[in-house]
Structure formats: C-alpha cells, structure tokens
Amino acid sequence: MTIEPLNALVVDDDVISRKTVGFNLEQEGFHCAYSEGALDALSQLEMYQFDLVVTDLCMPNMHGHTLAVEILSRPNRPLVIVHSGITDPRMTRELISRGVDDVIYKPTNYSGFAAKAFVWASRHRLASTAAVKDDAIHANQPTSTMAVDMFFSATSDSLDFSDIGRKVQMDPGLSAAILAVANSTGHNQSGNKITDVLVALRRIGMKKVADLALDQIRATSANGH
C-alpha cells in the first residue's frame, strides 16, 4: 500500500510565524504548503486535500476567523487549529464552540505542538477513512486507537502503571514491542527473560513506551488502516 504523508496548510501573513510552524510540522513528517492570507488558502483548499490547517487570525483581506468557519462548514474537512497572538478567552471560547479543533497562542512550544498535531491528524485521517468506508471506527482500528490512548497515558503527568499495563496487554503488537525492548541487551543483561509486561514497562520507562506507541501510530497511519 502507498504511504501517504500527512498534508498541512500553514496560513499566516507573518513570515516568521509561518516558517516556524511549518518547520516544526515538517520535522514531524508533515508535508507543508503555505499561504500568506485566507483568500490564497481557500484557493489551495479547492485544489488540494489537507489533513490539517493552521491559521493565524489577524490577516489583511480576510480574517482567519472567517477562513476557519468556512473550512469547518465543508464535508471531510481537515483539522483546523488557530495559531494567534490573541489570548482573550472569549475568542478562544467562540472558536472552539464553532468547532475549531484547538487554539494555540504565539509563541508556543512548537515541537510539542507539532507532535500533538501529528497524532491528531493521524487520528483524524483514520476516522475520515473509516467514515468514507462506512465502517465503524472503533471496530475497524482497535490497534491504532489503543496506541493513541497509550501514548497519552504514557506521557501523562499522573502515571498509573496498572492502567497503562492493562492497556498494553490489550494490544498484542505493543506488548510484543515493549517486551522485545525490555529483553534487549541494553535493558536486560541478566539473561532471565522478562515475560511480565508490567515489569517490562518499569524496566524501559515511560518515555520509551510513549516512543513505541508513537511508532505504532505512525505505522498504522502509513498502512492506511
């Protein structure tokens, strides 16, 4: 099956904002297109399919709010994330209530944002694909959904090992990957094979677990499941 990368459109009249967002998204594996304004963005949306649109609000000719609302009204719309210097919670509430998927404020942690955007866009594409196929999403992609849950659990501030262990055990692919790492020479030099997933989790640490979950999400996305 052909691997189709995630496509993002970055809309901002300010070149530094545009390039910084795009650069970080590209490091996560997105293919990025750029628009200096909302009107050009609408033209690009007519021509190409995007998984994600990141737009500024204050732009000449057409406000980013108008662009976001226009995109939200479309069938099979991409994820819409607003990236703005406007931090007024009333604006955030308005945008989120209209269906905007997230609002981030300038400047933000761009690598963290791009990492989250990758997971969201992957999940969004999975859901869109499933909807097109008229399949039940939860029945169709148990592995990827579990991997996404795992990723968020493993990166959560409040770790619950038994909850994470339970989730891992429901995903044979992820369990196997975690056990394989835990039994590698870098983590287990005793020669006694680790077979308990909870022991394996503690041995390799949550950062590695999150990486493995992310690998699985990427693999699922690339295979078009």
Partner 1 sequence: MTSNMSAGIHEAASQIASSGPLPIDSEGLMSRCLGKISFALMLLEEFESSGKRNVEKIVEHVERNELLAAAEAAHALKGTAGIIGAEVLQRLAAEIEDAGRGGQSTIQLALVHGLRAEMGRCLDFIPAFRSTAKT
What is the nearest approach in angstroms of partner 1 to the Cβ of residue 60?
A: 10
- Does residue 45 sit in helix, strand or coil? helix
* Residue from 31, 63, 77, 106 binding partner 1 (CB under 8 A): 106
- Asked if 37 and 67 count as a contact pair (C-beta separation under 8 A), the reply is no
Please state at what angle helix 38-47 crosses helix 64-72, rounded to 10 degrees: 20
Residue whose entry in the numeric block shows the structure tokens 């204050």: 58
- Cβ closest to partner 1, residue 114 vs residue 178: 114
Contact between 24 and partner 1 per CB under 8 A: yes
Give whole-number Cα distances, 23 to 57, 113, 187, in Å.
Answer: 20, 12, 34
Contact between 110 and partner 1 per CB under 8 A: yes
Q: How many angstroms separate the CA atoms of 41 and 214, rounded?
A: 30
CA-only gyration radius of the chain, Å: 20
* Residue from 48, 49, 61, 85 binding partner 1 (CB under 8 A): 85
- Cβ closest to partner 1, residue 107 vs residue 142: 107
Contact between 27 and partner 1 per CB under 8 A: yes
Q: How many angstroms separate the CA atoms of 193 and 187, rounded?
A: 11
Q: How many residues sit in the footprint of partner 1 (CB under 8 A)?
A: 19
Contact between 61 and partner 1 per CB under 8 A: no
Contact between 20 and partner 1 per CB under 8 A: yes
Can you give the binding site for partner 1, defined by CB under 8 A? 13-17, 19-20, 23-24, 27, 56, 58, 84-86, 106-107, 110-111
